[in-house]
Chain A
């Protein structure tokens, strides 16, 4: 059924259709609409789930760790400060190999208080062992939520479905909402490989000395590696049932491009328009959308970017003391490729500042016209702030 819905509600619908069984969440703007809608679903019986109104995000994830360990399907959503508060337990969820699915609305981190789009919150968690899926539009959000469960329950790693604050969470788009029966054909009930069971008691998460910890960590990485292939399988199945697929990356007109822009999230959507216009003017430009960030799709990225002369990464985030995070990862992916392109890093849109077509075009022009990057990161559109001390 096609309906115009808010981006947040696309998440809610995804979790509902996925038959999440235990939901535990703490409100934070701009995630609130996600969990409010789910709360309504639980109250009116549309969704047969237990909803825990916990007293912090840390407890929200803690509760899901408990629930997932007991062998049920779980869901939560958060953003920014809430995600940062969960940090300890993000590590825990992956270390415990629990197939938890969480939606994160990319929002800036304080201080100062800023509720608008910024990717630093989720990217700062890139080491925690969660699969990360960045979404461009509401349909992708809903689809990714459904896919997240299939993926998580195959490789036993938690999955984060990520959407931009306000630009995606609070805008309305037409979305194809599948019916429950169709989804059930794609997503079978969760049958855990382990769970807390009085009939078959054992202890989980106990002290693991040096002699064994490293192997457990290797197992997580092995699962991440398997996740690349698993994601392809998930998309294959999803495509067969729903007729849509996204790919870990999407290359738009990259084959003969001299300059390829790399984007993620809603910036991708704006960039498509810019690329079309530039191409119309004869520019040899392409666009690479990154959807799957963890596990980092090395091969796909090398294949898409390897033959370009220059790559311009637009990061709506920053790792202080280094550079934009997508740029870091792409530089690392390409550095051993003979004759690899120069990678230009651009920082734009932090704290919800609008990334307009003008900004993107400027990114392209500066990249095209520079032989090599003069700086590690170029901050776009900085202004002089009056009254600064």
Chain B
């Protein structure tokens, strides 16, 4: 029959149909604004006197990279476990999250990292410079001396620490009570410093003579001996039996003594030492009454310390000061003068004057003095400004040809006496000395300035050593700079503590450990101000797919061939880790 239907040559068929993608359109040519990734400074890191890279620490913690997070602490501060327990955390007061719901519990996380490091016996991998010949003597093994030795060792120097007491630590060991800072933590962190090659010689007092002799063996001396002489009230009865210096009392407890106390004891003073004395006394069975000449808000003690003391049953008597002490039977009778506020000083603290006629008497078993301290000897006071004397943020540097460089640091110069300020002091001294040895005195101010975190005064060792942080913009990210649309309210972690009844039974650590799940959850609350934390909002919202995940670089880059400069990435970045700049006409190629 018929053949198969035959084929014909195909008819012309030119239809609109694609065979190329749009990638040949380099829409980047449209751009007049250009986005860029730029790290900025988080307010917490600038507020931290040690300049810790807190936003990065929390980012790493949130990712479960506890080892790296802990190392990031150590880069700027050897005392993760100590500060995690005793620091007054100025970082939390400026935390941008505080304006959203509650600040991130930075100190709880710092302590967690130290606990994790201890538990898993982690060893830090710290950047260090090659060994140098200079040797530095460090007087005092308190936090400033130990920190100075730590940073000097990382910079390549041999640091020899001389300590009067039989064991190192200074106020860390002899001042801060066990329920705030257990020995194990202190010993671990000192051991870490020893492992860097720092030598600590205990039972070695330093005198002006030994200091003078130091010149032949040491190229510099760091004086971190602190204020070891307690101030007196200079009132009658001050030297009676039953009246004791608060610091000495704390030292006795730390040496293992457990004096039995009962009844009411008075603690005169408003600083952290007074709080430590009162709370220690409470644990030894007494009913402590703190007597302070100004108001509660004027007390130099950290607010949290005051709160915890009061929670433990310590009574606070404001606007009172003892004027006389006498014995009656087995007890002391203290005459207290009531004070009244007569204006405020330049820092907002009350100026007080006696409210004449108003006195009262109080009977106590013991009285502890914690009204402040000063240098034990005159040579420990830093000299005033003058030739060869460089006044730094956390220290005074004395440079005289033919003599070892002298640096006064720690409590000798600090306005706020805290562990973290001591660390800042040790770091500044170490960097200043390194600059003098490598480049000369003139280099100190400008190079220190270049290491500032934000506008300062905190310094970063990582910046000094040229790490990635040195490329960070000093601009501090404020709350208004963030895009808080991307955050949800989440309550701050509650610090787990011993129950009130349990606290007073012993000197056991009052604050308990937290688990990794709680730590990561709290760390996730950190906004990561100014630092890219790989949230990928930029990549997600880019209409042009011009944000590329650059796995090799570990982060992101913009494909400027296609980026139209719309700026969505910059606005949708929750943490202001990007910047939008005018496209330089000549930069286009």
- List residues of A whose CB falls within 8 A of some B CB: 95-97, 150, 154-156, 185-188, 193-194, 202-208, 215-216, 218-219, 222-223, 226, 230, 233, 237, 240-241
Known contacts A185-B5, A241-B2; A194 and B17 CB within 8 A of each other: yes
Are B8 and A233 in contact, with the CB atoms below 8 A?
yes
In the complex, A42 Cα to B165 Cα: how many Å?
Answer: 103
Contact A156 B13, CB 8 Å, known A202-B19, A203-B18, A206-B18 = yes
Interface assignment of B346: CB less than 8 Å from any CB of chain A:
no
Residues of B within 8 A of A237 (CB): 2, 5-6
Are B5 and A208 in contact, with the CB atoms below 8 A? Answer: no
Within B248-298, which residues are at the interface with A (CB < 8 Å)?
none
Q: Would you give the shortest CB distance from A220 to chain B, in whole angstroms?
A: 8
Residue of B with least CB distance to A219: B14
Q: How many interface contacts (CB-CB < 8 Å) are there between A and B?
A: 67
Q: Does B10 contact A (CB under 8 A)?
A: yes
CB pair A216–B8 under 8 Å, yes or no, is no
Complex Cα–Cα for A218 and B16 (A): 13
| Cβ-closest chain A residue relative to B20 | A202
Q: With a CB–CB cut-off of 8 A, which chain A residues contact B16?
A: 204-208, 216
Partner of B15, one of A187, A216, A226, A241: A216
18 contacts between A and B (CB under 8 A): A95-B15, A97-B15, A186-B5, A194-B13, A202-B17, A202-B19, A204-B16, A205-B17, A208-B16, A216-B15, A218-B12, A219-B13, A230-B8, A230-B11, A237-B6, A240-B2, A240-B3, A241-B1
Q: Which of A150, A185, A208 contacts B2 (CB 8 A)?
A: A185
Interface size for B (C-beta < 8 A) is 17
Alpha-carbon gap, A152 to B19, bound state (A): 25
Distance (whole angstroms) from the CB of B430 to the closest CB of chain A: 63
Interface residues of B in 345-395 (CB under 8 A from A): none
Contact with A along B1-39 (1 / 0, CB 8 A): 111111010111111111100000000000000000000
Which residue of the partner chain, among A95, A193, A203, A204, contacts B10 with CB atoms under 8 Å? A193
B11 touches A204 (CB 8 A): no
B14 closest partner in A (C-beta): A219
**Listed residue (B1, B13, B18, B19) with the most chain A CB atoms within 10 angstroms of its CB:** B13
| Distance in angstroms between the alpha carbons of A223 and B3 in the assembled complex | 25
B18 touches A97 (CB 8 A): no
Residue on A with the closest CB to B17? A204
Contact A188–B15 (Cβ < 8 Å): no
Set of chain B residues within 8 Å of A215, measured between Cβ atoms: 14
A202 and B16 CA atoms in complex are apart in Å by 10
> CB distance A219 to B17 under 8 Å?
no
- A205 (CB) vs chain B CBs: closest residue: B16
- Report the Cα distance A124→B17, complex, angstroms: 29
B residues lining the A interface (CB < 8 Å): 1-6, 8, 10-19
| Shortest beta-carbon contacts, A-B, top 4 | A219-B14, A222-B12, A240-B2, A203-B18
Residue of B nearest to A239 (CB): B2
* Contact call B18/A156, Cβ cutoff below 8 A: no
Cα–Cα, bound, A226→B13 (Å): 11
**Cα separation A204 to B15 with both chains bound (whole Å):** 8
Chain B residue at minimal CB-CB distance from A217: B14
Known contacts A185-B2, A185-B5: A203-B17 contact under CB 8 Å: yes
> Which residues on the A side are within 8 Å of B18 (C-beta)?
202-204, 206
Q: How far is the CA of A218 from the CA of B13 in the complex (A)?
A: 10
> With A204-B17, A216-B16 in contact, do A154 and B2 touch (Cβ < 8 Å)?
no
Q: Are A156 and B2 in contact (CB under 8 A)?
A: no
Contact A226 B5 (CB under 8 A): no
User: Which A residues are in CB contact (< 8 Å) with B3?
Assistant: 240
Expressed in whole angstroms, the minimum distance between the Cβ of A214 and any Cβ of chain B is 10
Given A202-B18, A203-B18, A204-B17: A226 touches B2 (CB 8 Å cut-off): no
Nearest neighbor of A237 in chain B, beta-carbon distance: B5
| A240 partner residues in chain B, CB cutoff 8 A | 2-3
Please judge, given known A-B contacts A186-B5, A187-B5, A237-B5, whether A154 and B17 are in contact too, CB under 8 Å.
Answer: no
Complex: how many Å from CA A95 to CA B15? Answer: 8
Are B12 and A226 in contact (CB-based, < 8 A)? yes
Q: Smallest Cβ distance from B471 to chain A, in angstroms? A: 43
In the assembled complex, the CB of A238 is this many whole angstroms from the nearest CB of chain B, namely 10
Q: Which of B11, B14, B15 interacts with A155 by CB under 8 Å?
A: B11
Closest CB-CB distance, B5 to chain A, in whole Å? 5
Q: Is the CB of B15 within 8 A of A154?
A: no
Min CB–CB distance B6 → chain A (angstroms): 8
Query: B residues within 8 A CB of A187?
Result: 5
Q: Could you tell me the distance between the alpha carbons of A95 and B16 in the complex, rounded to whole angstroms?
A: 9
| Chain A hits for B15, CB < 8 A | 95-97, 194, 204-205, 216, 219
Nearest B-chain residue to A187, judged by Cβ: B5
CB distance from A188 to the nearest CB of B (A): 5
Contacts of B10 in A (CB 8 A): 193
| Interface-central residue, B12, B18, B19, by most chain A CB under 10 Å | B12
Q: Which residues of A contact B14 (CB under 8 A)?
A: 215-216, 218-219
Shortest beta-carbon distance from A145 to chain B in Å: 17
Q: How far is the CA of A223 from the CA of B15 in the complex (A)?
A: 12
Bound CA–CA A203/B10 (angstroms): 22
Q: Once the chains are docked, how many angstroms separate the CA of A222 from the CA of B12?
A: 6
Q: Which residue of B lies closest to A188 (CB)?
A: B5
Q: 20 additional contacts, CB 8 Å, given A97-B13, A154-B11, A218-B14?
A: A95-B15, A150-B5, A154-B8, A156-B11, A156-B13, A186-B5, A194-B15, A194-B17, A202-B18, A202-B19, A206-B18, A207-B16, A208-B16, A219-B15, A222-B11, A222-B12, A226-B12, A237-B5, A237-B6, A241-B2
